Structure 1
């Protein structure tokens, strides 16, 4: 099976939660769900609408702050950025604009229009695990950033000792790919980023260090 991120053709399969077929890439360490188990667009939209992720939900705001607070060290009020994968309500973009920088919001289902200008930063919280075609999504994100631009990603990473047969993060129907520390090493090398911050678990902040071309 061909890896949807690095295109290595030697991924190995395993059966995970609920007898779902997954693949593991030996090159970039991406784990991805077999395409036959991906949700339909309607199923995705229904799932996201049931999350109730809004500014009144204290737990959700606290979760966003885990990515937003370290990102503030790299963002000032003169910058313009993007909340990539904001869902039905762009809570993070609003939080950022209240105290710091201008922030657009984008979601392929709810807000499918992207800004015309290139951006100083992109923040993507609990979105990477939904990427059906991660190489395409990363091409897009990288092309949106100016050289030296900042990319903040929040997604739970799997570890070498993670019990993949019963990992809670794989239970969500809409989670279709899962990243490892080595996956982000590949992303940095492929797309021209350096690591600015890493909490070792789910938040990583990258800086675009080259003028990247597809």
Structure 2
């Protein structure tokens, strides 16, 4: 069966890894590693997994975790920048951290904050922390988010990165049944080229993409 990449839509893909539960394919073009759609959870089962999360803006450990994206992105923002936390989850926290610094924030989450009107607005920065690995159609979602960025806007992502087949086989990250798309540094560089964005890696699990001027 031909496996079309859910990020770049190319069909040159090959089996990257297989375990007892799922198969993982890698795209030869953008190097995304992905689980085929017939092995994804349905929406109800997916939400049931997210309902187990106990994240809260009152949790200092969670704030520290989010700080890995918050701190480098904050240093780049102009005063009065307007942001969107995409995939904000059941306990929105990153949006609270930016609001505390005086930024106007919106949130969106398909399960917990499904106000689609924010997806028609423009933002100076958009964050997605521990989100892109859950996307069954990352190409469609990234196209949407990039289109919502103002000139010179930032897209800040946090997700653990693929490094090698050997490490992947032992990786705890693939044991989460809601994780279906896995990005490497090469994948993010492809994203930067495809959408004409500058790419920066301020930390092991963090990438900042900035819209270039045409």
Alignment of 1:13-162 (within 5 A): 13-113=15-115, 114-115=117-118, 116-160=120-164, 162=166
Structure 1 residue 188: Cα displacement: 0.7
In structure 1, what is the Cα distance between the partners aligned to 2:72 and 2:78?
13
Is there any run of 5+ residues in structure 2 with no aligned partner, and where? Answer: none
Q: Which stretch has the larger CA shift, 165-174 or 154-163?
A: 154-163
CA contact (8 A) 1:16 1:164 kept: no
Alignment RMSD: 1.6
When residues 93 and 77 of structure 1 are mapped into structure 2, their CA distance, relative to the original with a 3 A threshold, is same
The 1-side partners of 2:83 and 2:143 are apart by 17
1:208 has 2:177 as partner: no
Higher mean C-alpha displacement, 6-15 vs 138-147 = 6-15
What residue number does 1:172 align with? 176
Aligned residue number for residue 184 of structure 1:
188
Query: Aligned partners of 1:46, 1:70: CA distance in 2, in Å?
Result: 32
Question: d(CA) in 1 for partners of 2:125 and 2:135?
Answer: 19
CA distance 1:62–1:198, shift in 2 (3 Å): same
Deviations along 1:49-96, one digit per CA (max 9) or x if unpaired, are: 101011232322111111101111112331111001100121110111
Structure 1 distance, partners of 2:95, 2:160, is 21
Which stretches of structure 1, 4 residues or more, deviate above 6 A after TM superposition? none
TM-score normalised by structure 1 residue count: 0.92
Count of residue pairs brought into register by the alignment: 210
Structure 1 spans left out of the alignment, 5+ residues:
none
